[in-house]
Amino acid sequence: MKITTLNIAAGCLMFMSSVSHAVNEAFCDQYAQTGVAQHISNIAHKCNLQGLRWSADFISQKNWCKSVRRPIAENETAERRKSLTQCGVPENNIRKPFNSLEYGLADFLITTAIERAKVDDVRSIQVFGREGVDFNWEWGGNDSTVLFHAIKHQASKVVRYLIGFVNPNRSTNGGGAPLAFMLANEKVDYDLLRFLLENGVDANYHGEYRTESYIPLMVAVQKRYLRAVRDLITIGKASPNVFDTVPPLTYALKNKDTEIALLLINSGANLNFGMYECGQITGPANDKMPLDLATEMNNPRLINAIKSKGGKTAAECVKLDAT
């Protein structure tokens, strides 16, 4: 009987503890949302209030709340509210329309949001959205959106939140595609890559300039990311013939990357283009065609694949030109 009573008591304590934890979780979640919103208001109203209590970091705000007793957290919210009121912020309306902000303030808010996006703090970004921040605003006037940085830093949760209402095909001023920067990472989030390709990201978009480091497929080939190359081509319909000076196939062959080279060959890569197109070179010493590079590798698979699709050597291209 005593054991049964003890078991019931223990069960009740565990239940009460779990309920208390859930209540505390919900309270601190709301506390952090309010804290982020108050800091956004601090920026928007030019209050310039500083210190540890002023932050757009939802994660840190919530963790701090969970580390203290509830009255302490409630007092912190009240003190921020008091400071905002003293700054002239209406007590019943801390939100200020984003389109009414001075350019510099709007830019600073976007900069703050970008920093939270980089670390995938989606809860903070959601508060920015509820407070009316325009995520289509380009930092510096024409120098990237919050979504650009989320893609670049593979901030999966933020990307999934923003993708429905922000154009993912925008670059920095004079810069490349966000997808190219994402693929330049040492480790690629392939689930995110697939999501992007299935949700409006243009695999052929290279930003404002068509250079090798700005073209997604080119970057994937240079990094020797076979899976990324395959996804870009099969899901994103990336063209193996979008390049600046040197085609992706030439890079793959020079890297002696047989599998990527075969994938490009079978996906429509121009087999008669090295540094110049077949018929434009003046002598075999001036260029090497894919077939020349495959022959130097002594790779029968590549040689046969290129020949079967009409690939020629540089010498044959010169002869064609001569005729």
Percent of the chain with pLDDT over 70: 87
In a domain, 193, yes or no: yes
What is the chain's alpha carbon radius of gyration, rounded to the nearest angstrom? 28
pLDDT, residue 5, reads 59
Q: How confident is the model at residue 43 (pLDDT cuts 50, 70, 90)?
A: very high
Could you tell me what percent of the chain has a pLDDT over 90?
A: 67
pLDDT greater at residue 97 or residue 233 = 233
Tens of pLDDT, residues 144-196: 899 999 999 999 999 999 998 899 988 877 678 899 999 999 999 999 999 99
The two tokens of residue 2 are: 């005593």
DSSP string computed for 145-172: -HHHHHHHTT-HHHHHHHTTTS-S----
Give the domain extent around 228: 169-244
Query: Which pLDDT value is given to residue 128?
Result: 97
Range of 23-27, 146-150, 240-244, 314-318 with top mean pLDDT? 146-150
Q: Cα–Cα distance between 222 and 241 in angstroms, integer?
A: 15
Q: Does residue 240 contact residue 217 with C-beta atoms inside 8 Å?
A: yes
pLDDT of 15 higher than 50: no
pLDDT at res. 319: 67
- Please report whether residue 294 resides in a domain: no
Nearest to 217 by CA among 172, 177, 169: 177
pLDDT at 18 over 50: no
Structural domains counted in the chain: 1
Residue 12: pLDDT band with limits 50, 70, 90? very low
Is residue 24 a part of any domain in this protein?
no
Cα 184 to Cα 151, 175, 201, 298, 308: the distances in Å are 11, 14, 16, 30, 33
Task: Look up residue 279 and give its amino acid.
Answer: G
Digit-coded pLDDT (tens) for 71-117: 999 999 999 999 999 999 987 766 778 888 898 899 999 999 999 99
- Kindly report the pTM of this predicted structure: 0.87
Label residues 272-291 b or e (16+ Cβ within 10 Å = b): bbbeeebeebeebeebbbbb
Rounded Cα distance, 305 and 310, in Å: 9
Rounded alpha-carbon distances, angstroms, from residue 158 to 83, 190, 196 = 30, 16, 12
Q: Is the pLDDT of residue 283 over 90?
A: no
Cα–Cα distance measured from residue 44 to residue 27, given in angstroms and rounded to the nearest whole number: 26
Instruction: Report the range of poorest mean pLDDT among 151-160, 288-297, 313-322.
Output: 313-322
Query: In which band, very low, low, confident or very high, does the pLDDT at 16 lie, cut at 50, 70 and 90?
Result: very low
Q: Tell me whether residue 208 is in a domain.
A: yes
Mean per-residue pLDDT, 53-76: 96
* Nearby residues of 10 by Cβ (< 8 Å), 6 or more positions away: none
> The CATH number of the domain where 206 resides is what?
1.25.40
For the ranges 83-87, 273-277, 303-307, the lowest mean pLDDT is seen at 273-277
Three-class secondary structure of residue 49 per DSSP = coil
Residue 245 has pLDDT above 50, yes or no: yes
Q: Is the pLDDT of residue 19 over 50?
A: no
Q: What residues contact residue 241 under an 8 Å CB cut-off, 6+ apart?
A: 247, 268, 269, 270, 273
Domain assignment of residue 228, yes or no:
yes
Residue 118 within a domain: no
Residue 17: pLDDT band with limits 50, 70, 90: very low
Domain membership flag for residue 191: yes
* pLDDT beyond 80 at 284: no
**Closest to 112 measured CA to CA, from 41, 207, 29:** 41
Is residue 1 domain-resident? no
